[in-house]
Amino acid sequence: MTSQPYLVQPPRIAAGLVNLFTSAKEAELIMGDLHEEFSQLASTSGLAVGRGWYWRQALKTITHLVFAAFRTAPWSTTAAVAGGFMLRRLIAGVPEHAIFAVLERYQVYDHHFKVYAFFASTGIGIGHVFSFLFVGCVVALAARGREMAATTTLSLIYGAMIGLALLVWMTERPGHEYYLWMLPWNLADLFAIVIGGAIVRMRRSPANTLPSGA
């Protein structure tokens, strides 16, 4: 029986992530190598083993590429991350100001209280997600070729700050669940930074965005 291992496709999400984190030059080689070894492994040890191997390799490669970005271009990558952090501080109050300006302009509080309540709570949360998305895009634009490394790092920094804030809040004010209510929004903010990076990365090399054959 003749086997045709190349007909088996690697996990699409893992392949897509590797593609996002690699530069256009690296993507062809790294994804080709991963595809080839995955096909060999899937045909000899089974699809599940092959998929597990692919995911392990993908995560290790992504981790390596993030560190490599800081090793090869430490100043520009760090500057992009620090710039993103400062930009976020600069525009932190914009969503609230904009939303309340519109609500007051149209006197929403007096005529449509439910709408007012929605925009004054959920609307602000959504506004912040968009502001983080904007920051992610700007950071990625500044860190050309290392878009995902820079935005992932910024997201991890915010993640660490949120974790620390949560710990302090829970220690100092046990029983108050306000911060837990905020947590999904905070996680969405972190995700938005990385999505911003992915958008810029995809716009820069549309031909290499999707894994071929996937």
Partner 1 sequence: MASPDYLGEFEHIVVLALLRLEDRAYGVTVRQEIELRTKREVSIGAVYATLDRMETKGYVKSRLGDPTPERGGRSKRFFRVTAKGVAAVNRTQKALQSMTEGLSLIGRYT
What mask, x for binding partner 1 by CB under 8 A, covers residues 37 to 76? x-xx---------------xx--xxxxxx--x--------
Closest CA to 135 of 75, 195, 71: 195
> Of 34, 73, 99, 138, which lies in the binding site for partner 1, with binding defined by CB under 8 A?
34
Q: Which is nearer to partner 1, 60 or 89 (CB)?
A: 60
Query: In the complex, what is the shortest distance from the CB of residue 81 to partner 1, in angstroms, rounded to a whole number?
Result: 20
Q: Which is nearer to partner 1, 112 or 144 (CB)?
A: 144
Q: What is the size of the binding site for partner 1 (CB under 8 A)? A: 28
Q: Which is nearer to partner 1, 170 or 209 (CB)?
A: 209
Q: Which is nearer to partner 1, 65 or 193 (CB)?
A: 65
Tokens in use for 186? 């905070």
Question: What SS3 string covers the chain?
Answer: CCCCHHHCCCCHHHHHHHHHHCCHHHHHHHHHHHHHHHHHHHHHHCHHHHHHHHHHHHHHHHHHHHHHHHHHCHHHHHHHHHHHHHHHHHCCCHHHHHHHHHHHHCCHHHHCHHHHHHHHHHHHHHHHHHHHHHHHHHHHHHCCCCHHHHHHHHHHHHHHHHHHHHHHHHHHCCCCCHHHHHHHHHHHHHHHHHHHHHHHHHHHCHHHCCCCCC
Query: In the complex, what is the shortest distance from the CB of residue 3 to partner 1, in angstroms, rounded to a whole number?
Result: 11
* C-alpha–C-alpha distance, residues 204 and 183, integer Å: 32
Q: Is 148 in the site for partner 1 (CB under 8 A)?
A: no
Residue 36 near residue 119 (C-beta atoms within 8 A): no
Candidate ranges 35-43, 88-96, 105-113, 142-150; the one touching partner 1 (CB under 8 A)? 35-43
Q: Is 211 in the site for partner 1 (CB under 8 A)?
A: yes
Q: Is 177 in the site for partner 1 (CB under 8 A)?
A: no
Candidate ranges 25-33, 91-99, 100-108, 141-149; the one touching partner 1 (CB under 8 A)? 25-33
Query: In the complex, what is the shortest distance from the CB of residue 39 to partner 1, in angstroms, rounded to a whole number?
Result: 5
Q: Is 35 in the site for partner 1 (CB under 8 A)?
A: yes
Binding site for partner 1 (CB under 8 A): 5-6, 22, 26, 28-37, 39-40, 56-57, 60-65, 68, 211-213
